[in-house]
Structure 1
């Protein structure tokens, strides 16, 4: 190498060093700077990236100097070397940014912290904010922008540091950066201290090239309770609580609004070296487990086995959620209009949800409608079944109450190919759906049926002003033609578990007391009312043979199911020798008598209560949860027998997960309906006990409540009708009023 080349190399290196060095700040009071440096040291320790012992010693020596100016200069010489960014805030509060000398090295799927030097000539005490086009979330981004959104960015503006700048002329802050990728990546970083503080000419931003080192591959061996390969949910967190993979950088099948991901046996995650807390589980019938794993400098395999406390499917009870969505609400519109069947199937598998009804609705209807086939989707993996159907929501009759339409043969209402031509009257939609043999019922039943009290049943007439089971109060009185032309009930079920229990159950209890036989089914309305997971609200349907989607739906129509949060179970409920959901769920007595109510019951509470949940107002989430049923100071919950809406017998069980036989002797004076519940965690469908062949007319007050409800709903919903449906609207409500007037005259006075 020539002497000229060596001299040139030295010159270039000196120029680079000069370009990256940060200006020294003068006239700084040492005492507040010293306090700020101590907080900085504590923050670095807390973040898990402490200064080296050598640097800590150097800082101690520098701050211990007698000459304050020399101490301030020495501190800057030590810390500037670790600064990624230098910031100058001029007397007019304009922010100017310069690259610092710190090594620009990140790690794939991991966070790293860097120092930011702030020369605050304006004495600003606002929050220092960082931003980058590269740190924008994936959710909502066009596909073309995903590749550039590789960065995670966060200022550490919490304890032991202060949220805002101190106003001191010199201080050091911490910026944290996350890399989605391995390899060379360019990022543009911008800083400001409030609107209008950016310097002119883009001088508040800087472009930096990072070298992102690869993370380690962690292969997951995932087994069920029997040692067979399965899919489960996992939450990976570092000691600071950071979630891995970063939620902001997720695309399907990992959802950006979840802390958890779902992985099958043999799949993997990528993690930087370090220690992680891993929580794994598989739906509410499993016992979540937590442990720590350590990732070193090589790829590893970690084994996990699901621990289960109950499995209703072994007794023929199959879980399902009739209301989940692949589009809308928490789902993104970009880079795709919602997610796809394989993504939803993964979540059903991870939550051990046997049946998922994936409902196409208003948002991105015209994109999602292409996936409807009128049969289970090809991604189904028996016994896990996924099928596309429809929720009337965001169009059509939704203002009178959203409708779940399951087991459709044709998803499109006649007269068009989209959502704009559907009828405004729910009953007209129900007529069309029932003609093709669909299973139908209102979604999120409680909305619009608000109650001020918590007693069940309650006789306060709600506003009927929402999108739940509002028009249901009229529709339940109607019979409509089925596939063979014979009359069938217009409504098959009411949805439960995703709205306040009192609001949902009250209208059901009252209509049952009038003799109507609408059943209930559990739903989540994922990811709208609940985005935490699919299957938060469930139905458990008893089938004698192989699970099919059609038979599962038929089980709901017949009422051969119980609903709940999956944390308690009411299995094989029957009254005398009549099983719930078999032969019309009907027990006939010649005269008033005592009946035997039996079931197998299981529930599971943690040893220690979830703080505050049991006493939370029932109209606050979670609406249904076993913790709300806990008897204070115990691990017990009450199992109640409900007759005509009222609890008439109760037994306490230990909620330790064990399955127990339970029995009650219940007097029946007149035709009544009987059910079991652990409120608000699980509820059976009813068995109908007919005395002397008479129909159920168990409460005149309930019939009067229903009549008042029809009138209230009529006044609320008429304004949503088009002129072409006013005649149908009036006829539907006239019929309902007439029916309730007749039932009032036939009912038991109470």
Structure 2
């Protein structure tokens, strides 16, 4: 029989083409014979929820002692397996080599030997790492992942606001990483004179302006744009990155003038996201464009080794960090946090976000993520409203739940002459090293964590305290979790604001003078390269900071 130019024959007839000396009595015997002769071993396995026994999607690493990586495939016809291989260009030993699997069994052919299998499913399950000796007749592997926290039960849903994945891969990857909302940069330009709509960095294809569901609680939205400017006019001259999230139509204008970009973003209800704090133009963008979001956990935070050092604009001396403030993972994190605090102290009510640039960097989708609290059922629109309202926390690991007078983060109070009740609960996979209450950028105070073991195997710390504002203030909570090898994970809430009539918030002089000086330095660095309108924008931003400095302490 011939169908579509393929000839269909029985296994018995096929056998003589493989082994002319023998026609097997059983049709499958020739296949079994060839399998026995192969040196590689077919390893099969599955990922399941340890409590329910239900199949789980997940991320899997298969690493051999000779430093080779292997990538399983799905065994189910309608399943999926997406291979991810990224190597850092600065330190080529820093890699991310994994497969994201749909919730179906997997298989991988491996030569006999010793391998390390690591399996993860988002942030809310314990990962499992297992040494496996691959040999003949290896039993089927079963990875039973244990859940240590369930955020959705409490109305919390996660998102990654900076993604560079092929949208065709997102349904697989979002479910494997349990990221509820993904915002891929469908349009992306790296030159100041090229509009995102015509940039060769933008994704090919036709995308609408409607959310695309992977399932009922996982959705991606296609209208997001990144202006990441490395070339200004005809010159290689870096300005930085600006993300525009949740807009409606394509941006057909280049990055400059900035006012045109901001005008369209505001008209379409978009959010402006400051992608990293130490790009050359970052601190000027905040007062110029009224930036909405600040990525506290960004695309230099990785599960693998920290690698991007001596990058972009160094931290000021008053922050007390080592070197440029980018030498270590902890310095990089604190550099970002202290920059955020300085801007809040100047009255810019930025809200936290988190993004990985997964697709570009060696980091899984959602390693840095922002959780948003919803009072009702999950929907994309409700999640974006919650993000814009600041009912959120960012995390690379621990889960932090805090309230002021029974109000989640993002609440604003007209302050009264009284103490406000504060509560903070942290659940973490590993023990915490510290929990800190931040008031107007200062630690007030630092709490030693209880790290009480829970029935689920995680650790819990519960804190109750009070706060009495005597002037307009903001507060937030942050925590740090110990990890092996001197590493750490952290979480940080969005702020609560307290407005005291007649007593506006005042920045520290060293903070606002640094902000103004940085913008001035960037203006001088760009003079003669950037167009006149950008130089004028920088002058405007500098003047705004200098005016704020008049009220500093």
Check whether TM > 0.5: yes
The one of 737, 740, 745 equivalent to 2:545 is 740
Query: What residue number does 2:474 align with?
Result: 673
CA–CA separation in structure 2 for the residues paired with 1:221 and 1:743: 55
Displacement of 1:671? 0.8
Q: 1:579 and 1:246 mapped to 2: Cα distance?
A: 42
In the alignment, the residues of structure 1 paired with residue 203 and residue 295 of structure 2 have an alpha-carbon distance, to the nearest angstrom, of: 23
What is the Cα deviation at residue 652 of structure 1? 1.5
Task: Choose which of 389, 401, 404 in structure 1 pairs with 2:243.
Answer: 404
The aligned counterpart of 2:462 is 661
Secondary structure at 2:546 match in 1: helix
Residue 477 in structure 1 maps to residue 287 in structure 2: yes
Larger proportion of strand? 2
Structure 1 length-normalised TM? 0.54
The alpha-carbon deviation at position 698 of structure 1 amounts to 4.2
d(CA) in 1 for partners of 2:404 and 2:47? 45
Q: Relative to structure 1, is the Cα distance of residues 278 and 681 closer, same or farther in structure 2, using a 3 angstrom cutoff?
A: same
> What SS class does the counterpart of residue 401 from structure 1 fall into?
strand
Partner of 2:442 in structure 1? 646
Find out whether 1:714 has 2:520 as its counterpart: no
CA distance in 2, matches of 1:273, 1:704: 62
Q: 1:295: how far off?
A: 6.0
- What do residues 412-450 of structure 1 show as CA deviations (whole Å, max 9, x unaligned)? 324xxxxxxx133444322322221111112122xxx3x
SS at match of 1:393: strand
Q: CA shift at 1:540, angstroms? A: 0.9
Q: What are the equivalent positions in structure 2 for 1:607-622 lying under 5 Å apart?
A: none
Q: TM-score, with normalisation over the residues of structure 2?
A: 0.72
Asked if 1:290 is matched to 2:115, the reply is no
Check if 1:552 corresponds to 2:357: no
1:536 and 1:365 map into 2 onto residues whose CA distance is 27
1:345-360 to 2 correspondences below 5 Å: 345-360=171-186
2:260 alignment partner, one of 403, 414, 428? 428
For 1:574, the equivalent position in structure 2 comes to 403
Match of 1:266 in 2: 104
Runs (5+) with no aligned partner, structure 1: 1-181, 185-210, 327-339, 415-421, 450-467, 480-489, 606-634
| Distance (whole Å) between structure 1 residues aligned to residue 479 and residue 84 of structure 2 | 32
Residue of structure 2 in register with 1:303 after alignment = 142
Structure 1 residue 601: Cα displacement: 1.4
- The verdict on how the C-alpha distance between 1:371 and 1:681 changes in structure 2, with shifts beyond 3 A counting, is farther
Change (3 A) 1:561 1:396: farther
Quick check: 1:444–1:525 contact (8 Å CA) kept in 2?
no
Which residue number corresponds to residue 374 of structure 1? 209
The answer for unaligned runs of 5 or more in structure 2 is 1-31, 74-79, 87-95, 191-198, 301-331, 481-488
Task: Give the direction of change, closer, same or farther, for the CA distance of 1:735–1:235 in structure 2 (3 Å limit).
Answer: closer
- Confirm or deny: 8 A CA contact 1:219 1:266 kept in the other structure: no
CA-to-aligned-CA distance 1:369-411 (integer Å, 9 cap, x gap): 4253222235x22312223322112578793220111112112
Q: Aligned partners of 1:246 and 1:228: how far apart in 2?
A: 20
Task: Tell me the alpha carbon deviations over residues 606-641 of structure 1, each in whole angstroms, 9 at most, x when there is no partner.
Answer: xxxxxxxxxxxxxxxxxxxxxxxxxxxxx4421111
- Which whole-Å CA distance do the structure 2 matches of 1:241 and 1:301 have between them? 24
CA contact 1:673–1:687 (8 Å) conserved in 2: yes
Q: Which gives a bigger RCO, structure 1 or 2 (Cα 8 Å, sep 6+)? A: 2
Query: By how many angstroms is 1:523 displaced?
Result: 1.5
Q: Is residue 420 of structure 2 the alignment partner of residue 595 of structure 1?
A: yes
- Specify which of 559, 562, 569 is matched with residue 393 of structure 2: 562
Please say which structure displays the higher CA radius of gyration.
1
What secondary structure does 1:708 align onto? helix
SS for the counterpart of 1:254 is strand
Could you report, residue by residue, the CA deviation over 1:294-349 in whole angstroms, capped at 9, with x for unpaired residues? 666569643332212222222111111111212xxxxxxxxxxxxx3232332222
Cα drift, residue 538 of structure 1 = 1.0
1:670/1:261 Cα in 2 relative to 1: closer, same or farther (>3 Å)?
same
Q: Offset at 1:562?
A: 0.9
| Equivalence for 2:89 | none
Deviates more, 1:656-665 or 1:640-649: 656-665
Conserved 8 A contact 1:236-1:277? yes
Does structure 1 residue 685 correspond to structure 2 residue 514?
A: no
Q: Is the 8 A contact 2:58 2:175 kept in 1?
A: yes
Structure 1 residues 315 and 347: alpha-carbon distance in aligned structure 2, compared to 1, 3 A threshold = same
Contact 2:189–2:202 under 8 Å retained in 1: no
- Does structure 1 residue 234 correspond to structure 2 residue 44? no
**In 2: Cα distance, 1:711 partner to 1:357 partner:** 33
User: Secondary structure of the residue that 1:587 maps to in structure 2?
Assistant: strand
- TM-superposed CA distance for 1:273, in Å, is 6.9
Does the 8 Å CA contact 1:427/1:475 hold for their aligned counterparts?
no
Q: CA deviation at 1:504?
A: 1.4
What is the Cα deviation at residue 673 of structure 1? 0.9
How many positions carry a matched residue from both structures? 445
Q: Relative to 1, partners in 2 of residues 1:351 and 1:390: Cα closer, same or farther, differing over 3 Å? A: same
- Alpha-carbon distance, 1:219 to partner: 4.5
Deviation string for 1:218-264 (max 9, x for gaps)?
152533653333201222345655432399xxx98212334332223
1:535 and 2:331 aligned: no
Q: How much does 1:366 deviate?
A: 5.8
* CA distance, structure 1, for counterparts of residue 110 and residue 143 of structure 2: 20
CA 366–325 in structure 1, closer or farther in 2 if over 3 Å, else same: closer
Q: What residue in structure 2 maps to residue 495 of structure 1? A: 295
Structure-1 separation of matches of 2:334 and 2:129:
35
Preserved CA contact (<8 Å) 1:426 1:471: no
Correspondences of 1:190-269 after superposition (within 5 Å):
215-216=41-42, 218-220=44-46, 222-223=48-49, 225-238=51-64, 242-245=68-71, 253-257=82-86, 258-269=96-107
RMSD over aligned Cα atoms:
3.2
Q: Is the 8 A contact 1:319 1:540 kept in 2?
A: yes
Work out the CA distance in 1 between the residues paired with 2:343 and 2:399. 25
